Chains A and B, each alone.
Chain A
Amino acid sequence: MGFIIKKDQWINLAIVAATLWFIWFAQTHLDEYTVRILNNIAIFIILAVSYNLINGVTGQFSLEPNGFVAIGAYVAALLLLDADAKEYQYDIESPYPWVLALQANFVWALFFAGTFSALLALALSFPVFRVRGDYLAIVTLGFGFIIRILAINNPEITNGSLGLNDIPEFSNLYWTGGVALLAVIAILNIVDSKFGRAMKAIRDDEDAAIAMGVNTFKIKTMAFCTSAFLEGVGGGLLAALLTSISPDLFTFFLTFQLLIIIVLGGLGSTTGAIIGTVLVMGGSEWMRFLDEPMNIFGIVETPAMPGMRMVVFSIILIFVMLFAREGIMGKRELKDLFKKKRGES
């Protein structure tokens, strides 16, 4: 038994080392376009695994990511832009003095982006988790809209619909990949602990979980706040990657995209969330040719059809729902696949 645990640890270490090597290799050797896609994938891995924690592992249907990503992005952007840069670009209204005073380095900016999101999630938890049912989905859906409207209508803070520009480009693969790696490790550790067990118990049967002494309110709040924290951090990384953000970036479409990712990967599986991200984000780049004019076997010429790849995506998703209802991984993780192989041989 001791030997097996050791072997598992070696496998984990090897995966971490390989990931770190890949991050270094990609950042130093691959072209800018590929690195950009990998950055996106890394950020979406953070968002997907954290969204999966509340939605898949805890089984609380929630539609929150766009709201918390927006908050994280704005908090980080306001902390990273210096006073001069803010003064220069606030065209609609002049910024509040305290907005000008906000300033922090990148690490603290990400930390505050996450913390602010988590605190808002905590405030939302009290009304939402006191009752059972699909209230979380309704409240978080509304929350996303409210955040966007607040961002548009408070130009003294957010520069309104013009958004924030010239954000210092701190994000590179070391940051996005590094945070993604830490986020995945943290989530896996949470899921494989008494907290994760309680989350899964709530998903499987909430009444039985209570009968086991699980404080369901506390566990749901923990899952929700952890998700919000990582989504906030992801938003901060996104702001420092894109260098300009506006309210239109954080529509419900972002949440929808993440929902596709975690359902495709398998609700409840962190490994699945990662695979889903790579397939959807990588795939949507690869399938760009679908939006362009096409010449099918030299017979039919089709005009450019922007949005065609989303149609194809939706069709793929329908097929996943029909033939692999549990997604690619189901609720299994990578280590479960190893376990099965070991058992069979």
Chain B
Amino acid sequence: MILKVDKVTKNFGGVTAIKETSFSVAPKEIYGLIGPNGAGKTTMFNIITGNYEASEGEVFFRNETLHGLKPHQIVRRGVARTFQNIRLFKSMSVLDNVLIGFDFQARYSFAESILRLPRFFGEEKRIRAKAMEILKYLGIEKFAEHKATDLSYGQQRKVEIARALATNPELLLLDEPAAGMNPAETKELADLIYKAREDFDLTVLLIEHDMKFVNQLCDRVLVLDYGKSIFEGKPSDAIKDPEVVAAYLGDFIHD
């Protein structure tokens, strides 16, 4: 198991956002986290990435606990994420946005950058080539010098994914990647995630409301409702599960 969430509970004051939730994700699996609004999905993401500290329980990545690590350290271990609402660096070019993800992998010091020593040029050249490779992979290399915010919504999503791939992740967390996309874009995105899993040896954990997208893509899903896991298994079984249906549509269906 590459990711193991072990009996995690998160309280905000008196409110319990997540209650004793456990699940594990296998290497190269595409795992969906679904549930109604306010079920605690994004909170779960924030616990895995270290932005929140779990009130109880622990998260293990490659059998090592992530407890006590700062968010940027967790990224450097190989857990990358995208945001629900696209958050690109708006004053920077597309290429610079992607380069940020490579920066901790560039080995030159502060003094070397001031004095412009050879290692600075070598490393900059290396990460620039890698960044261009990722942009090419996603088919947005022609926008490299454009300002990131000048791109269309779908392309901005791709920049965000490119940026996440730049950190060289093993586990990629996607927070509602298909939100705001039209059906054609959604289809393209699903194909892209599917392909990227093979090409980058990725494990993907994603939050999504678009059930068609989830069905098409996810190997397994976990359904959260009011912070509790109510179902784990194949997405096609999830929509038949009475408890899941009740969580989404309300209890009256059974009355």
B47-73 near A? 1/0 per residue, CB < 8 Å: 001010000000000000000001110
Residues of A with C-beta under 8 A to B92: 197, 200-201, 204
Closest partner residue, chain B, to A193 (CB atom): B113
Residues of A with C-beta under 8 A to B115: 189
B179-200 near A? 1/0 per residue, CB < 8 Å: 0000000000000000000000
Q: Does A301 contact B (CB under 8 A)?
A: no
Q: Does B136 contact A (CB under 8 A)?
A: no
B137 to chain A, nearest CB (A): 18
Say whether chain B's binding surface is mostly helix, strand, loop, or mixed. helix
| Pair B71/A210 contact, Cβ less than 8 Å | yes
Residues of B with C-beta under 8 A to A214: 72, 100, 103-104
CA–CA, A204 and B93, complex, Å: 12
Closest partner residue, chain A, to B76 (CB atom): A213
In the complex, which of the residues A186, A193, A200, A203 has the most CB atoms of chain B within 10 Å of its own CB atom?
Answer: A193
B 16-54 contacts with A by CB, 8 A: 49, 51
Q: How many A-B residue pairs have CB under 8 A?
A: 90
Residues of A with C-beta under 8 A to B71: 210-211
Residues of B with C-beta under 8 A to A205: 87-90
| Pair A222/B110 contact, Cβ less than 8 Å | yes
| Pair B72/A200 contact, Cβ less than 8 Å | no
CA–CA, A131 and B166, complex, Å: 28
A43 to chain B, nearest CB (A): 20
Q: Does A241 contact B (CB under 8 A)?
A: no
Q: Does A194 contact B (CB under 8 A)?
A: yes
Residues of A with C-beta under 8 A to B120: 193
| Pair B106/A204 contact, Cβ less than 8 Å | no
Closest partner residue, chain A, to B90 (CB atom): A204
| Pair A189/B114 contact, Cβ less than 8 Å | yes
CA–CA, A307 and B101, complex, Å: 50
Closest partner residue, chain A, to B96 (CB atom): A197
User: Which of A190, A201, A213 makes the CB contact (< 8 A) with B89?
Assistant: A201
Residues of B with C-beta under 8 A to A325: none
A259-272 near B? 1/0 per residue, CB < 8 Å: 00000000010000
| Pair A204/B110 contact, Cβ less than 8 Å | no
| Pair A204/B89 contact, Cβ less than 8 Å | yes
Q: Does B163 contact A (CB under 8 A)?
A: yes
A183-214 near B? 1/0 per residue, CB < 8 Å: 00010011001110110110111011111111
In the complex, 15 of the A-B residue pairs with CB atoms within 8 angstroms, ordered by the A residue number, are A190-B110, A193-B108, A197-B100, A198-B103, A203-B91, A204-B89, A208-B89, A209-B100, A211-B81, A211-B164, A212-B166, A214-B100, A215-B72, A215-B104, A216-B72
Q: A189-B116, A204-B89 are in contact. List 17 more A-B contacts (CB 8 A).
A: A189-B113, A194-B99, A194-B108, A201-B92, A201-B100, A207-B51, A209-B89, A210-B71, A211-B164, A212-B75, A212-B163, A214-B104, A215-B70, A215-B72, A215-B104, A222-B110, A331-B91
